[in-house]
A and B are shown apart, each in its own frame.
Chain A
Amino acid sequence: MTFRTPSPRNTAARAGAVHARRTFALAAALALCGARMSAQAPVTVADGHLTLSGQASISVGSNDEGYFNYSSYQYSLLRLLRLDGTADLRVNDHLSVLGDLQALASVDHGNWLLRPYALFARIRPWADRPVDIQAGLVPPVFGVFSRRAYGANDPLVGYPLAYQYLTSLRGNALPATVSDLLAMRGRGWLTRYPIGDTRPQAGLPVVDGLRYQSGVELHVGSLQPFEAAASWTSGALSAPSREGGNAGQQFSGRFALRPAPGLILGVSGSRGTFLSSSLRDSAAVSDVGDQRAIGFDAEYSRGHYLVRSEGVYSNSRIPLAVPATRLALAAFGIDVEGRYRITPRLYAAARVDRLQFNDVAGPDGPTSWEYPVTRLQVGGGYLVARHTLVKVEWQRNQRDVTASDVYGGGAYGSQAASASYNKANLFSAQLVVWF
């Protein structure tokens, strides 16, 4: 396995290599510190009212020329350094304030991103009943993966496609015609449209599994045979924040049953606004800019094995200029993953994943508005210490595309048609330390 030189987009390749070495050194130091601390429980101060914990992870992997694992233009989940510091302030039995401050950096270049990942108040009206209200920058209610993507809860390095893969759909830019849309297929990491913000930017995933959303949510029954949650938050599943002028709101809910020991079955629904207010207001047609989604999730565990599956069907409606019409862009993602604990320290895991899109009326007839993608992940993890985990993964990605499917020409057209762009075998490793 070899790691290629930093992406050709990084013109300062030497500076990037220096940064990569410094990042690795920092990560190694963190790992050593974390390993020494990892035997300790979270830090509690102020007579147990304040609990502090932290997590550091570094992922290194093959150069992803097909941009299968990018969560934005700059960040690949396979080449990422992530630091989280979390706090839980228990004011009393009815009120807590929780927060997570996160720092992200690419292994390839020195662009650090510092942001509050979570910051919310948790209110429990009745101390002895499992009813909670959370308000602020809150975890998403829809589905499951967004809430268990944190650190060691995900047995693999890469994410499910529905929660990470960048489609060509944008929240702040629109295609004028169907041809504009089809020309951006497979280029979700950097799309450009003639209406709205015309600068090249990354598209949206079906569900943004890397960001929380602002709003309020209600949760009932954490350990009962059932649990239910509902939320009123900003944006939409694919665009949970108010960036790009999205002043819309989202309603989401999930209901889950535990019919037998080890079995959890859940269904989710969501309706939100992913399109910026200015684009919605200027559209020639009404009733656009919303994303509606339904999902299911299932988990079964027993003994040393654990099996999960999650599916999402999403429908996003955009306006077209020529002709002035409404276009429904649907996506369906489904994944199945399994983990088996071989020894107390060692486990094996795998995930099969498919992301499919509906057809739109293209110049050559019905055409999928995005290239379907298939991903196979096989890997495992090793517990070096109680709170130190090393994961390794082989990932096979494929877009269903042939040269005749590619619209648009030029450099992007050639790239989009190339086999190396649309099929990728990627290796990655991740070190996670937490306390």
Chain B
Amino acid sequence: MLRLACVFALCAALSLAEAAGARAPAAATIRGRVNIPNPLSAALPRPGIADLGRDTNYQPAAPRRAVVYLETAPQPAFEEGVAGRATMKQEHETFVPHVLAIRAGTVVDFPNGDPFFHNVFSLSKPQPFDLGRYAKGRSKSVQFDEPGIVRVFCEIHSHMSAFILVFSHRFFAVTDDDGRYRIERVPAGTYTLTAWYEAVAQQSRPVTVPEQGGAVDVDFTLRDR
């Protein structure tokens, strides 16, 4: 009798657990492609009329990456996870990567890979900073606590610039070389999905992630504002 009661209790517990698991909605992936028909040209230095020669170190690269993110996120998203560390290098008089997307609280390292000084700074409200001049092989860091867009420059090389987008949640992605993006483990719900490019183009779409999870495809075509 006692054995039979234990079996019944075990079965009841298993049934309850299965029922609970069945009620939790499956997370989905939002993916797609951002098309940029008219990408910006690479930033070129100002005409060097005071220079005695041409700068040979600069390797201009046209910005191609966009950032896709949820305008709003489920409440738990703001409380989960721990911000880590990221890197934005200075190489050939450019910031690499040109666009960096991070969570609030992330520490970004700025190593200098060029054989001369750089002076990384920003005037942006979320995180103004000035790292001063430092040489090749050295690195300085900044912790970004406030969400927002941070524009990064070099005080010595005026053609150098980059963006750091700081989010208070984890639902964002930077596109790859083909313009593709993936945002993983998005809970079911209806959101506003935004694609952003170089502060010159932006587009928003409503997106619904179903209860059963899976993948949701959303493509963007960004043109200048």
The answer to whether A binds B is yes
A residues neighboring B (CB under 8 Å): 41-42, 44, 48, 51-53, 86-88, 96, 98-100, 117-118, 122, 124, 128-132, 134, 139, 141, 147-148, 150, 153, 217, 219-220, 222-223, 229, 261-262, 301-304, 306, 341, 343-345, 383, 385-387, 434
- Bound-state CA distance A98–B57 (Å) is 19
Cβ–Cβ contact A386 & B53, under 8 A: no
B115 adjacent to chain A (CB < 8 Å): yes
B37 adjacent to chain A (CB < 8 Å): no
> Which residues of B are found within 8 Å of A87, using beta-carbon distances?
47
Interface code B112-140, partner A: CB below 8 Å = 1, 0 otherwise? 00011100011100001110111110000
B56 adjacent to chain A (CB < 8 Å): yes
Cβ–Cβ contact B54 & A122, under 8 A: yes
Q: For A260, give the chain B residue with the smallest CB separation.
A: B135
> Which residues of A are found within 8 Å of B31, using beta-carbon distances?
none
- Bound-state CA distance A134–B161 (Å) is 29
Partner of B53, one of A88, A118, A219: A219
> Which residues of B are found within 8 Å of A98, using beta-carbon distances?
47-49
Q: Give, as a whole number of angstroms, the nearest-CB distance from A132 to chain B.
A: 4
Q: For A85, give the chain B residue with the smallest CB separation.
A: B47
Q: List 21 A-B contacts (CB under 8 A).
A: A41-B161, A42-B43, A88-B46, A88-B48, A129-B56, A134-B52, A139-B51, A148-B50, A219-B52, A220-B53, A222-B51, A222-B55, A223-B57, A229-B52, A262-B117, A262-B133, A262-B135, A302-B132, A343-B130, A344-B130, A386-B151
Partner of B47, one of A88, A383, A385: A88
Cβ–Cβ contact A343 & B128, under 8 A: yes
Category for how many chain B residues contact A: 35 or more
Partner of A124, one of B41, B52, B54, B153: B54
Q: Give, as a whole number of angstroms, the nearest-CB distance from A432 to chain B.
A: 13
The answer to whether residues A41 and B132 also contact, given A219-B53, A344-B122 and a CB cut-off of 8 A, is no
Chain B interface, >50% SS class: loop
B7 adjacent to chain A (CB < 8 Å): no
Q: Give, as a whole number of angstroms, the nearest-CB distance from A404 to chain B.
A: 44
- Bound-state CA distance A128–B153 (Å) is 27
Cβ–Cβ contact A130 & B129, under 8 A: no
> Which residues of B are found within 8 Å of A134, using beta-carbon distances?
52-53
Q: Give, as a whole number of angstroms, the nearest-CB distance from A271 to chain B.
A: 19
Interface code B20-44, partner A: CB below 8 Å = 1, 0 otherwise? 0000000000000000000001111
The answer to whether residues A261 and B136 also contact, given A88-B47, A117-B49, A223-B115 and a CB cut-off of 8 A, is yes
Given A118-B50, A223-B115, A262-B117; 7 other pairs, CB 8 A cutoff: A222-B55, A222-B56, A261-B117, A301-B117, A302-B134, A306-B133, A344-B129
The answer to whether residues A150 and B50 also contact, given A222-B56, A301-B117, A386-B153 and a CB cut-off of 8 A, is yes
Q: For A344, give the chain B residue with the smallest CB separation.
A: B130
Cβ–Cβ contact A386 & B48, under 8 A: no
Q: Give, as a whole number of angstroms, the nearest-CB distance from B110 to chain A.
A: 14
B159 adjacent to chain A (CB < 8 Å): yes
Cβ–Cβ contact A147 & B136, under 8 A: no
Cβ–Cβ contact B132 & A86, under 8 A: no
Cβ–Cβ contact B123 & A122, under 8 A: no
Q: For A229, give the chain B residue with the smallest CB separation.
A: B52
Partner of A345, one of B53, B54, B123: B123
